[in-house]
Structure 1
């Protein structure tokens, strides 16, 4: 039984030594050196991740909803404006105006955080709220 414990202890020490050698061998390398030696499938994955990151900037990731009463005789904040924008501030503002006798919907294009079409104060506010704070 003692020989079994001694054998396990020797194997554990040997494994620890091998792990330390492997860590020393790779820890002093720069990222470029490791990247040059990476297999083709790893390089392909890196290219795919870079493409997905670039594509993510065009995703409609910034949004804000502003609810309000469009008319003084209609309560409950049933009207709303929502801004759906990408990282460059390109996208759309959607607005739904609720009144007693019906409703209207509007869509206005937004480019670089501004619209060429006139915006209501609520639409401007939804764009401002969707815009990320500067770093």
Structure 2
């Protein structure tokens, strides 16, 4: 699975990139703001994205999410405050709250991978708050 990471905290982005690659997926790029995220979407369409709500250019992660949803690209918000995510999660599958554990992220990534390939019979991990649950 090709994964795009939208995160303005470089250490968190690098950690997430490492976890994605250790799980056998390819990171297509990392964006720290909405413009860079749009450029990455156009250059290499990802199969999935992790999106922080607050980026270098403000609360634009929600807009990035809407951009992804408009292109049919599934994504999950990764945020320190999931209460800032709008009702309906702006088209996201769900959210992972920071700080997250490596094991929690690994379980979420396994679930997301299954969903992206069409396996609807997997149970979501506790680390992932589904949009339908709010």
Whether the TM-score (by the shorter chain) exceeds 0.5 is no
Higher strand share: 1
**Shorter-normalised TM range:** under 0.3
TM-score under structure 1 normalisation?
0.22
